[in-house]
Amino acid sequence: MTAEHPFPPVVYVPTVEPVADGAARLAMHHTDDGRVALFVYSALDRLVEFYRADSPWALLTVPDLQRAHDAAPYDLIFLDRRPAPAEAS
């Protein structure tokens, strides 16, 4: 992110199942070149519009994203982007 487009302090992240007891399994996606991507959204309406209206989600801070990466590494973070069909798995 650049100074013109700073990364937000919190993001909405799709999860595989509803968050229980503060633990969430984040929805990871595979790109065509085999990398693992995490899609995050700066507002809940963007998650609904770009990802899926019925998706469970978690609200994470930047340090939370680092902890998530430490637990289950991902290669890319996409902010406010719609997954391509190949990335939907």
Question: In the chain, what are the domain boundaries?
Answer: 10-84
- pLDDT at residue 3 in the model: 58
21: left (phi over 0), alpha (psi -120 to 50) or beta: left
Extended beta strands in the chain, E state: 10-14, 28-30, 36-40, 57-61, 76-79
Q: Is the pLDDT of residue 87 over 70?
A: no
Report the percentage of the chain scoring pLDDT > 90: 72
User: Residue 58 corresponds to which amino acid?
Assistant: A
- pLDDT at residue 2 in the model: 53
Per residue in 19-61, pLDDT (tens digit) is 667 677 899 999 989 999 999 999 999 999 999 999 999 999 9
Tokens 């990802």 locate to 51
C-alpha distances in Å from residue 44, one per residue of 14, 31, 52, 55: 10, 24, 11, 11
